[in-house]
Amino acid sequence: MKAIVNVALKQGVLDDQGKATHHALDTLGFKEIVKDVRIGKQIILELNSDNEKDAKTEVKNMCEKLLANTVIEDYSIEIIG
């Protein structure tokens, strides 16, 4: 079983990596098309589990303890059977 966790900065939190990338894209000629850039992490976990509900609970624990800084980040979990 696999879990895909997407971790992104909460709205309103300054995304300096996104700003820097946006600036670089502007200088590369994409100024007209790019309005905003935000960058997050995608964590792919291979799991020893065959129960989707249990797996989701465990991954939520991992997010709360380590994978996301829940003060400034949101996370989403997708379990792939």
Kindly list the residues in this chain that would bind its own copies in the complex (CB under 8 A).
6, 8, 18, 21, 24-25, 28, 30, 32-49, 55, 58, 61-62, 65-67
Specify whether the CB–CB gap between 55 and 3 falls below 8 A. Answer: yes
Q: List the one residue out of 67, 13, 65 whose CA is nearest residue 75.
A: 67
CB of 26 to its own copies, least distance (A): 11
Rg for the chain (alpha carbons), in Å? 16
Q: Looking at beta carbons only, is 32 or 71 nearer to its own copies?
A: 32
**One-letter identity of residue 77:** I
CB of 8 to its own copies, least distance (A): 7
Q: What angle do CA 35, 38, 44 make, to 5 degrees?
A: 140
Q: Looking at beta carbons only, is 24 or 72 nearer to its own copies?
A: 24
CB of 67 to its own copies, least distance (A): 7
